[in-house]
Amino acid sequence: MKELRNPAALKALLGDIGDKARLLPRPPRLMEVCGTHTMALFRSGLTPMLAEAGVEMVSGPGCPVCITPNAIHEAAIAFVTGIEGVTLAAFGDMTRVPTRKGPLQAAVPARGSRLRIVYSPEEALEEARRGPDRPVVFYGAGFETTIPAIAYTVRQAAAEGLRNYSVLPALWLVPPALRAILEAGDAAVDGFIYPGHVSAVIGAGPYEFVAREFGIPGAIAGFEPGDILLAIRSVLEQALEGRPRVALEYSRAIGREGNPVARALMAEVFEPYDACWRGLGLIPSSGLRFRPEFAGFDAGRRFGLRTEAPDGGLDLAGCRCGDVLRGVIRPEGCGLFGKKCRPDSPLGPCMVSYEGSCLIHYKYGPERRGGR
């Protein structure tokens, strides 16, 4: 692990990356799909160094808080403000997303109701166990990394006969979103850095269509600075060789097959459907919903919550989080960035989430380094 942070080793990798980038016909533009990779690149100071080496990094849609449409955020607000005597359990970031109804954290719960911040779905399940007479809804948002844990709580609640536990699902699948970005054609991506934690569940296979159908290379990366540089070097090597594929540069933690137990758990409880993403619109088979045998745990169905809207729920005026999530613009390209939209007064989810591109650029971007 120390070698993956060793300055001399990182400098050598950057030099190698620069040499390879200069051999390509144009400066490569690579998308780090995962917000955690974006954060790691900025916090380690690698983003400007990669730019000097001739590699442009652009953020992707890998933040569940950011890509969840406002319609679902507003359904969570409607639940806790409109029904008495209930508990809504949610991750902290999800409560700060601005909507037309304000953020969830500013909502005034109905009489006897409450909003509780949790760090895992298991905490929400435990809340339901402690008070079987009180309905508890977990606002479940996440990618393949988080979904198995949510599925586990549902299956466990079913096994225990807990009828007061349910989930408001906002469950997203990464590979269909990558296809949507490529088919849209406006992001001009030359390669992908795939998320290590999502890949730990799904393996390498679900990304292979990117190389096979679009001829674009990619590599699965861990989260140390050296992990990401190794993945970038691999993508450039593939481009130079003209042999795009899915390289695994995180083999110390995961295998190419992922975790079949976690995938089986997901498939037992949920099934794919055509879901609406913020900025990306309706994407075929990109979301998960409850299978009929577990429909009783669907909070939207149980409490009549409206979670879908033709436009996904409108963003606030001027917010361009959708364009940022598609890699069409950088956060600085939004007219609100750093002016009306700041971490203390966010107007879009990308300025709220720890993995949000706008927040990361605001905290670690060039203006901050120069003394905003």
pLDDT one-digit tens code per residue, 299-310: 999 999 988 765
Does 7 score more than 90 pLDDT? Answer: no
Does 1 score more than 70 pLDDT? Answer: no
Pairwise CA distance, residues 285 & 271, whole Å: 9
Q: How far is CA 242 from CA 13, 100, 211, 239, 359, in A?
A: 21, 48, 11, 5, 36
Are 245 and 212 in contact by the 8 Å Cβ rule? The answer is no
pLDDT of residue 367: 59
Pairwise CA distance, residues 92 & 49, whole Å: 33
Say which DSSP state 124 is in. Answer: H
How distant is the alpha carbon of residue 201 from its chain centre?
15
- pLDDT category at 371 given cuts 50, 70, 90 is very low
Pairwise CA distance, residues 78 & 83, whole Å: 8
Pairwise CA distance, residues 306 & 357, whole Å: 28
- pLDDT category at 369 given cuts 50, 70, 90 is low
Pairwise CA distance, residues 119 & 101, whole Å: 24
pLDDT of residue 282: 92
What mean pLDDT do residues 69-82 have?
Answer: 95
Segment 309-368, tens digit of pLDDT: 655 556 677 889 988 988 888 899 999 999 999 999 999 999 998 889 999 999 988 656
Segment 198-249, tens digit of pLDDT: 999 999 999 999 999 999 999 999 999 999 999 999 999 999 999 999 999 9
Q: Angle between the 147-160 and 121-130 helix axes, to the nearest 10 degrees?
A: 20
What mean pLDDT do residues 93-104 have?
Answer: 93
- pLDDT category at 372 given cuts 50, 70, 90 is very low
Handedness of CA 362, 92, 33, 18 (dihedral sign): positive
Query: Residue 174 is encoded by which pair of tokens?
Result: 């990464």
What mean pLDDT do residues 39-59 have?
Answer: 92
pLDDT of residue 328: 86
Are 182 and 216 in contact by the 8 Å Cβ rule? The answer is yes
What mean pLDDT do residues 278-294 have?
Answer: 94
Q: Which residue has the tokens 């989260």?
A: 223
Q: Which of 195, 209, 181, 191 is nearest to 62 (CA)?
A: 195
Q: What percent of the chain has pLDDT over 90?
A: 81
